[in-house]
Structure 1
Amino acid sequence: MSDELNIIKSQAEEAMVKAIDHLEAELIKVRAGKANPNLVDGLVVDYYGTPTPISQVGNITVADARTLAIQPWEKNMLQPIERAIIAANIGITPQNDGMIIRLFMPPLTEERRKELVKRAQGEGEHSKVAIRNIRRDAIEKIKKLQKNGLSEDVCKDGEKNVQDLTDKFISLVDKHLAAKEKEIMTV
């Protein structure tokens, strides 16, 4: 029966790792005043009627610390890429010179930095909720095992292991948020 507990614990840990991975991906999208190609990762361009990720229609490079350059492989894709960036509302106006689209990262004001910190903390809170939901599901599975004849002591140990795992991942979320807040608030 303890094999079932180990399976439940490993499934919970795997799901919590995915929650942390998702948090990291979302925190990358919160810009800290530096150009990062991941800023346009989620953008989709209309490529001859087919929604296509922006990275598949052009080359995305960091020109300097505050500039992203997008060079489409086809010149007629300049307008659709520009429209996709404007529609995404990422707070940056694209500059089109007929060959390359440049995204200039404006310097962040103190107010904007605080907004970005709040957004990062919101993402962190979503991750914490996801981790707690994973914990709840795992504990429910353990309680079902107890109803099916697993001893109470073994179940309590299993619940404690799941709680320890939860605490570990919640503290990991807090570390990620502290690092991102420091990155955003550094001028």
Structure 2
Amino acid sequence: MSGNFDLNDLEKRMRGALDVLKRDFSGLRTGRASTHLLDPIQVTVYGAKMPLSQVATVSVPESRTISVQVWDRTNVSAVEKGIREANLGLNPIIDGTLLRLPIPPLTADRRNELAKLAHKYAESCRVAVRNVRREGMDLLKKLEKDGKISEDDQRKSSTKVQELTDRLIKDIDETLATKEVEIHKV
């Protein structure tokens, strides 16, 4: 097909949205410790905001504890502050340059809040995928209008874009369903 329509590019952009969703989901707490829980945390050190991973090593020594080994003793309080301000419901216990984060069991209310948040993330992802779909469809219409592709090519490609969109929306829904089961599992 001529013009500058690229189905692979659309798929890559849609999959990018799904990857963001999976990363967001990995930060949702499910009662088990995960290093990804702290991924979104930024700490203010040396006069700048940095990801936690650039000032400390995060590990999971046991299923209900995350440990954060801060590399520079002077940053311990900044790291503790960043963790508390992230509103993840974690209360760091400081032991020198090591912060231990016990993961409290989730209450039913907190599980419901997390499920709502997961739905919100999934909806943003659906919107992103639909936006990529719309851009692809608009481009196809423009290419047909400009005489760069035939009406048949435009129709075939539009069908492929719609099939791709449907497949990715299904992936998003399955990812959400899996995360919901994980959130509600006691």
The TM-score with structure 2 as length reference comes to 0.94
Greater fraction of residues in helix: 1
Within the candidate set 124, 128, 139, 1:130 is matched to 128
Q: Does 1:179 align with 2:178?
A: yes
The match for 2:73 is: 75
* Structure 1 stretches lacking a partner, 5+ long: none
Divergent runs of 4+, >6 A: none
Give the aligned length: 185
What amino acid maps onto 2:151 in structure 1? E
Once the two structures are TM-superposed, the CA of residue 4 in structure 1 deviates from its matched residue by 3.3
CA shift digits 1:8-56 (9 cap, x unpaired): 3122111101011101100101111111111111212222212222112
Once the two structures are TM-superposed, the CA of residue 96 in structure 1 deviates from its matched residue by 1.2
Q: Secondary structure at the match of 1:103?
A: strand
* Structure 2 stretches lacking a partner, 5+ long: none
What is the rounded CA distance, in whole Å, between the counterparts of 2:113 and 2:86 in structure 1?
18
Moved more, 85-94 or 18-27: 85-94
The match for 2:62 is: 64
The match for 2:88 is: 90
CA shift digits 1:68-97 (9 cap, x unpaired): 011111222211110111122222121112
- State the Cα RMSD in Å: 1.3
Checking the alignment, whether the CA contact within 8 Å between 1:8 and 1:141 is kept in structure 2 is no
Moved more, 117-126 or 46-55: 46-55
The match for 2:28 is: 30
For 1:2-41, what aligned pairs fall within 5 Å after superposition? Answer: 2-4=1-3, 7-41=5-39
Q: Secondary structure at the match of 1:91?
A: coil
Q: Secondary structure at the match of 2:6?
A: helix
What amino acid maps onto 1:122 in structure 2? K
Q: Secondary structure at the match of 2:113?
A: helix
